[in-house]
Amino acid sequence: MRSVAVDETRAHPARTEIVAGLTTFLATAYIVVVNPSILRDGAGMPFDGVLTATVLLSALMTMLMGLYARLPYAVAPGMGLNAFFAYTLVLGQKVPWPTALGMIFWAGVLFLVISATPVRERLAQAIPASLRTAMACGIGLLITLVGLKGAGIIVGDAVTLVKPGPLTPQVLLAAGGLALTVGLMVRGTAVAFLVCIAAVTAAAWAIGLVALPTKWLSRPDFTSVTLRLDLWGALAPAMWPAIIAVLFTDLFDSLSTFIGVAEATGFTDDDGRPTRLRQGLIVDAWATLVAGLLGTSSGTAYVESAAGINAGGRSGLTAVVTALCFVPCLFLAPLAAMVPAYATAPVLIVVGVLMFRTSRTLPFDAMEEMVPAFLTLVLIPLTLSITQGLLWGLVAHVVAFVVAGRLRDLTPWNWGLGILATGLLFLHG
């Protein structure tokens, strides 16, 4: 069965890419609702305006990723980056949201300058192989955590942080969807993720857990946040440290996403580097700059793109399909919001499993390599931040090699990344 499925995929590459694009969209569509909610609650921004900005950014930048970079990655406002915007800049530092948007824009300008040079690629290549593998595993755990929470299998707890959730119909539907997905994947079915999401949503509707939207169409809001950024207020000297923080948060977030997803899915070149990394990073830089103009937090490549890549996406056509799927959300946001979290949860859990497979290559016998890798791996899900996991890993890598007497094995790039990561940890602290 497995060889037949592979042959069928090769015979219909366009169909496979289309399925992969739809899969990636359904795995990332939650951002259409989640991002406006975060920026409304934390930054006081208009929900409808941010929703429009979110959809526009996702469609435009994902399309650019497909047509220019020819990569199967979705681009959208980054989770973690939006929380940094809303809760650190606006709520914590009392920066007005138009000024914060201006800071996103200028960080994007600097980001683009760096991306046009070999510096960013050198940074990516300087990250030790053990940390790249650990990032893939950590991202897998993070995605699994999101899936388990979306399914209701785990819930928050004030004392123990998380605890088992009650055995609700939603949990049972998610568990059934997970079993269905595994069964289809074992049989080599390329549409396993799509079938799972559709089946769980349909079942939820059939038993009354999901209702059809009362309003099918929504008018895009192009006025409340779009082009409302304060460019000159963002250039005040007091804002410079925050702009640098935004810049490097974006830098490490996108680097870790590209490297982690590529490492986990095998989407690498002959030298083990992420395929067409430089082009992808340039698109990621544009996503930050354009986000400030449209009225949302920084855009970045999405780790959920691994769902589409594992479904067979290998070219820019996957991203083009994903981008086109975002466009109707300008008008059909209520319908997109109909898909419940527990319908996409099984997909996220399975993708987490697939990404964690790379753990078999971790250097378990070398303590000075394994400790930094382990810190990276566990801190990504525990801090809900890919960036935090990577920063701690980079610092620990230098310290561990020093105490292990392996000074000669540390390159100037290792030292530079370690010092930079230390500074950024203090900045975020």
Give the span between the Cα atoms of 224 and 53, in whole angstroms.
10
Domain that holds residue 60: 2-428
Any residues with CB less than 8 A from the CB of 357 and at least 6 apart, and which? 264
pTM for this prediction: 0.70
Angle at the Cα of 234 from the Cα atoms of 230 and 235, rounded to 5 degrees? 125
Residue with tokens 């409304």: 40
The pLDDT score that the predictor gives to residue 290 is: 96
The pLDDT score that the predictor gives to residue 429 is: 57
Cβ atoms of 273 and 264 closer than 8 Å: no
Give how many domains the chain has, as a whole number.
1
The pLDDT score that the predictor gives to residue 124 is: 64
Dihedral angle sign, alpha carbons of residues 378, 258, 395, 134: positive
Tens-level pLDDT at each residue, the chain (429 residues):
333 334 444 444 788 899 999 988 888 887 887 788 788 888 889 888 999 999 999 999 999 999 999 999 999 998 767 877 887 788 877 899 999 999 999 999 998 888 888 776 676 667 888 888 888 888 788 888 888 988 999 998 888 888 999 999 999 999 999 999 999 989 877 678 878 888 998 999 999 998 887 877 778 889 999 999 999 999 988 787 778 777 877 777 787 778 777 777 777 777 767 778 888 889 999 999 999 999 999 999 988 888 888 888 888 999 999 999 999 889 876 776 677 888 888 988 888 888 888 888 898 899 999 999 999 999 988 887 777 888 899 999 999 999 999 999 998 889 988 998 898 788 665
The pLDDT score that the predictor gives to residue 276 is: 82
